[in-house]
Each structure stands twice: as C-alpha cells, then as structure tokens.
Copies of this chain bind each other. A is one copy, B any other.
Amino acid sequence: MQTAGSTAAPESPTRPPGFATGRVLRPSTKVLPEHARGHNRSLVLQTLYRAGQQSRADLARSTGLTRVTISDLVAELMAEGLLVETGQRAIIRPGKPATLLDIDRGAFQILGIDLSEHTIFRGAVLDLDGRILSRSEIPLAGSTGADATAKVIALAETLRGMATAPILGMGVGSPGVVDLGGVVLAAPNLGWSGEELQATLSARLSMPVVVANDANVAVLAEHSFGDADSDLMLVKVGHGVGAGLLLGGTPLFGSRFAAGEIGHVVVGTDGGTQCACGKVGCLETWLATPRLEAAIAAAATSADPDTILREAGQRLGIALSPVVGALNLAEVVLSGPANLLDGPLLEATIETIRDRTMAEFHGNLVLRMTTLGEDIVLRGSAVMVLSGQLGVS
C-alpha cells in the first residue's frame, strides 16, 4: 500500500502490451508467432499491390521489417507463384541496382457474380487488379429457390470455363440478408431463406467462394477502386434500396447481418405511399426505380420530372441525415441508374442533409455517384476474394 500522491503504477506495468496500445479491444483468441507471419506476409502483398513494383529494400523501408525478413517472405511468396522479379530499377543512383518485385498479376484470375439485378444474373472473370477480362450472364426468367441456385451454379461453371489462368476464388454479391458464412438468410425476390450458397458453390466448384450482400460488396469496390475514404456509406438504388457501410475501413454487418437495410425505414412525419411491407412512407416508396419511373411517366404531361426527382432526393436526405450525423460520415456514394440519380435527386439529397445536420462536424461531406458504374458488384466480388485469399484490398 503505497501512499497516495505518488506517481502512479511505479515499476511494473510500464507500457500497454502491444496489441492493446491506444485501441480499445478485447483479446478473444490466442495469437501465435505464425499468425504474425501471416500478417506480415499480407503486409508485403498489400504494399506491392497498392504501390506497384518495389525492391526488397523498398519493402523493408515501407513495412518496417528488416531486409532479411523481407527476403525470406519474398522467397516464400515467389515459391508460391504470387510474386515475380521484374528486372532491375532503371533509375541511376549509387549502389547496387535494386531488383524490382511485383505481384504476378497475370498468375491468377478471379470470378465475380452479381445477383442483385431483377431479371438477370451477371458474372465476370477479373484479373488481380479488378479489371474485367470477360463476361457472361444468364437470364433469371422468374426462377426462384433451387432453380435460382441452379442458375448461379451454371453461371459459375461457365465463368470457370472462361478463365485463362488458375482461379484464386469466386465472390458473389447477393440481394437480401447474408450472414458471415455466406448463408443467404433471406432474399424474398429469389425465394431464398437459409440458402447455403457459399457452401454449395464452394463444394460444387472446388474453389474458395465468398458470398455477401450486394451493397456490402459494392462498398468494398468503391473503397478499393473508387478511391473513397475509410468511412463510407454506399446507397444502392434499384428495384429496392439498400446500403453498405464501411466504418474505419471495416465493413459493418450488424447484429443480425442486416446492416444497411434501410429500404423499409419510414421517412418523414407527413405520411406517404403504402408500401408492400405494410407500412406507409418507407424509403423504397420514394426511391425505388420502378416507383420513380412510374411517377415520372404518370406526371409526364402535368408536372416537371425534376420536381419528382428532387422530392425523392429530399426523402433520401431526410433518411440519411440521422445516419450521417450519428456515424459522422464524410462520404456517401450512390449507385444505380445515373439518369435518375445523378442530377436533381443527388443535389436535393445533399442540400437536405446539409440543412438537417451539424455542418461543423462534416463540413466536407461528399455525396456523389459511384465511379464504378454497373460493374460495382462484380468488382467488389474481386475485392472479397483478394482480401480473403491474400489479405490484400
């Protein structure tokens, strides 16, 4: 019992132990040295993936590991066919010239599938940089349940046949609620509930498969390829309305894997249209593309279509304001038909959010269309595979 007034915890608990530094986290599983190895392995891949060609010495400098350790990791990765030496650095400077390394970007390919469209399943073969090399698609033709699953399998097998290099894995973006094991808990349009899509596909194709919600997949693409921030919300407008959230670089799944399901949140306090879900004034009744198109067509003679689009944008803004405020988001991205979203709707949304939140906290709030167009889910599928198989994104 030392007397008070002394200067705190004297000799012993000097520094916070490694992982706990600064961060508030809860260690839950043991960590062995080999796990650290796996982490550093991914760190090397990640560095090369983003910065491109680098020498071993460059990698050592940018990762903080020693040249010796880097050499060892690089040798391991080269033996696996993931890295290649690409010749010597051209820049002339004193010292032994550096041997450049890069990920062997042609060594593997990735399959991506997008199940989020209403009438068609789309798929693609992508390279490790997320570029689309070839495409395939299969009409849904009203299939549900096992028939829909069969069409996914057929599409996947077609894509496998189109690949021209070993396949690293397959990513699938599905509508509905998907758990962390790739089980589609609920996707009404496809008639799935408890559909073990990831397990089925993985077994059938004998390759690593990742299945996730389409909007969650899309937000990964926007983060990796659309140079977005690490705090990001992507709102996907189509037949329904859904969102994907990336917070601090980590996707949010929610307590029941239904994070981002904002389509059936009621907007405003002044009524609205009856929704299929039973409530009145859900976000989807204002914003889903069929409704928007119908409203514009109906009003073609009387009202200005811009008025309808602006109203929809305001409703989206009303719904997003509490989310933007609570999460202190810096960036919100819209994905969907540009002819509807990109214009009065988007402008009205950002004006509404600015009017309804505290400007100081996110004066720089950016609301914009995705830069990835209609391939956002396909490219996000590649991100999932890269992340899961190589620890790269």
Q: Is A333 an interface residue (CB 8 A)?
A: no
**B-contacting residues, A371-390, CB 8 Å:** 383-384, 387-390
A330 at the interface (CB under 8 A from B): yes
Cross-chain contact A261 with B42 (CB below 8 angstroms): no
Q: Which of B248, B259, B360 interacts with A253 by CB under 8 Å?
A: B248
If A2-B165, A4-B161, A327-B254 touch, whether A24 touches B220 (CB-CB below 8 Å) is yes
Contacts of A355 in B (CB 8 A): 266, 279
Q: Mark A209-229, 1 if CB is under 8 A from B, else 0.
A: 000000000001000000001
Q: Which residues on B sit within 8 Å (CB–CB) of A51?
A: none
On whether A362 and B255 interact (CB within 8 A), knowing A26-B46, A42-B27, the answer reads: yes
A358 to B269, CA, bound (A): 17
A69 to chain B, nearest CB (A): 9
Interface-facing stretch out of A32-40, A91-99, A114-122: A32-40
Q: Which residues of the partner chain B approach A220 to less than 8 Å between Cβ atoms?
A: 24
Which of A144-152, A292-300, A314-322, A340-348 is near enough to bind chain B? A314-322
Question: How many A residues touch B, CB cutoff 8 Å?
Answer: 123
A268: B residues at CB distance < 8 A: 268-269
Whether A160 is near chain B, meaning CB under 8 Å from some CB there, is yes
* CB pair A64 B29 closer than 8 Å: yes
Q: Tell me, yes or no, whether A90 is within 8 Å of chain B by CB.
A: no
Binding site for B on A (CB under 8 A): 1-2, 4-10, 12-13, 16-22, 24-43, 46, 63-65, 79-82, 108, 160-169, 177, 180, 186, 205-208, 220, 229, 231, 233, 243, 245, 247-266, 268-270, 277, 279, 318-323, 325-331, 355-358, 360-362, 383-384, 387-391, 393
Q: Can you pick out 9 interface pairs between chain A and chain B where the beta carbons lie within 8 Å of each other?
A: A2-B165, A8-B205, A16-B389, A17-B38, A18-B38, A24-B388, A32-B36, A258-B362, A260-B326
The 9 closest A-B CB pairs, nearest first, are A254-B328, A18-B38, A17-B38, A8-B207, A20-B391, A12-B80, A255-B330, A258-B361, A18-B35
